[in-house]
Structure 1
Amino acid sequence: MAQIVHKYTLLILLSVLIMHSLFTSVHSRKFQEKKPCKRFTLYFHDILFNGTNLANATAATAVNRTQLGNYKHGMLVVFDDPMTKQNNLLTPPVARAQGFYFYDTKDAYNAWFAYTLIFNSTEHKGTLNIMGADLMGEEMRDLSVVGGTGDFFMTRGIATFRTDGQPDAFYFRVKMDIKLYECY
């Protein structure tokens, strides 16, 4: 009986040591940055409706700001914005960005975005879904690419934002460097 207990104890101890060595070897590997499987740059043009620009507006306030702070806290904007390859608004769009953003802090200009890039051109067909915090005080900020369809089926990656122009309170342009790391 004692011999059976020693065998089982030895077997359990050996199993624990093997599991420990497998676990530490898997998790002790150095992080290796992957290269993107697709990468491209687009410009996001947002023209907020101001009461007089109905023909040109691509975005509208759906919920007005609250009285908490001076940074548009609580304001919700819904948009259908053109995406171009150059930073000129008059260049032909290669996609549409459809979604919303809302200002989510009361002590700084920060927004949270959720939108879909809709491609329907000879170069790309399908969608990319992007969401995340736009910390506007930072020069560059990353939002997550959380999926897609068509040419971008189930893709994952990063959309790096950089404000490229804001001539007034009703128009802004963002340069988006999109890097996809999972492409099927």
Structure 2
Amino acid sequence: MESTTLYALFFFFHLYLSGSSAMQHGKKTQHQPCKHLKFFFHDIIYNGKNAENATSAIVAAPEGSNRTILAPQNHFGNVVVFDDPITLDNNLHSIPVGRAQGMYLYDKKDTFYSWLGFTFLLNNTDHQGTINFIGADPILVKTRDISVVGGTGDFAMARGIATVMTDAFEGEVYFRLHVDIKLYECW
């Protein structure tokens, strides 16, 4: 019986030591990202009049809705596909360093909320490859985190977090997102 108590005491002492080694000055240690990137992507929704400039289109809408106007009640039920330019600054007319391609769907009736699934395709002198993203986007929250779930090329099998911030929007036709990417698994 005493050896069982001794083993239990040793086990809890070991847990205490391993837990305290992860603490520094009362805070858990933070892993540092292996890559840190910042981009902007620009989305211009097709509204029936802007075909030359549009980079996205509503491909599904609630029954009876117009696919050139986002649905009422927080756009619930709209599905949008996009092929947006990615820039290093917030200027739509800057030279793109890649494309953001994917979709978002509005999936909540009582507030602006969407689900994102997209890829950054980068093909410039600094970066070659893709970064894949997926996650929920509570649009009205200032900063939101979505998962980086993989990639190719310079970003092969990358994993991390992308903090998304709405940088600008003009009505329901244009918005610009600032994406701050921190990769914690780099190969």
- Settle same-fold status: TM greater than 0.5: yes
Task: Tell me the equivalent position of 1:34.
Answer: 31
Aligned mate of 1:116, from 103, 114, 119 = 119
CA distance in 2, matches of 1:98, 1:69: 25
Q: Distance in 1 between the 2:81 and 2:19 partners?
A: 43
Give the aligned residue type for 1:46.
D
Deviations 1:60-88 (A, max 9, x none): 11111468971111110011111000111
SS in 1 for 2:142: coil
Separation in structure 2 between the aligned mates of residue 148 and residue 10 of structure 1, nearest angstrom: 54
* Aligned equivalent of 1:102, options 101, 105, 127: 105
The structure with the largest alpha-carbon Rg is 1
Matches of 1:155 and 1:89, distance apart in 2 = 27
1:58 aligns with 2:55: yes
Give yes or no for the alignment of 1:150 onto 2:153: yes
Once residues 14 and 128 of structure 1 are traced to their aligned partners in structure 2, the CA distance between those partners, rounded to angstroms, is: 50
Distance 1:22 1:46 in 2: 53
Shift >2 Å, 4+ stretches: 9-31, 65-69
Q: Which amino acid aligns with 2:146?
A: L
Which residue in the other structure is 2:84 paired with? 81
TM-score normalised to the size of structure 1? 0.85
- The CA deviation at 1:144 is 0.9
Give the conservation status (yes or no) of the 8 Å contact 1:84–1:95.
yes
Unaligned runs of 5+ residues in structure 2 are 66-70
Q: Does 1:178 align with 2:175?
A: no
Q: Confirm or deny: 8 A CA contact 1:69 1:106 kept in the other structure.
A: no
Give 1:120 shift: 1.0
Distance 2:7 2:98 in 1: 55
Deviations 1:22-48 (A, max 9, x none): 555445533311122211211110011
Q: How far apart are the structure 1 equivalents of 2:62 and 2:79? A: 8
Other-structure match for 2:136: 133
- 8 Å contact from structure 1 (residues 65, 72) kept in 2: no
- The alignment status of 1:93 with 2:90, answered yes or no, reads no
Please state whether the residue corresponding to 1:151 is helix, strand or coil.
helix
| Aligned-partner residue type, residue 94 of structure 2 | T
Of 52-61 and 24-33, more deviation after overlay is shown by 24-33
Corresponding letter in the other structure for 2:163: T
Identity of aligned residues (%): 45
Matches of 2:3 and 2:72, distance apart in 1: 65
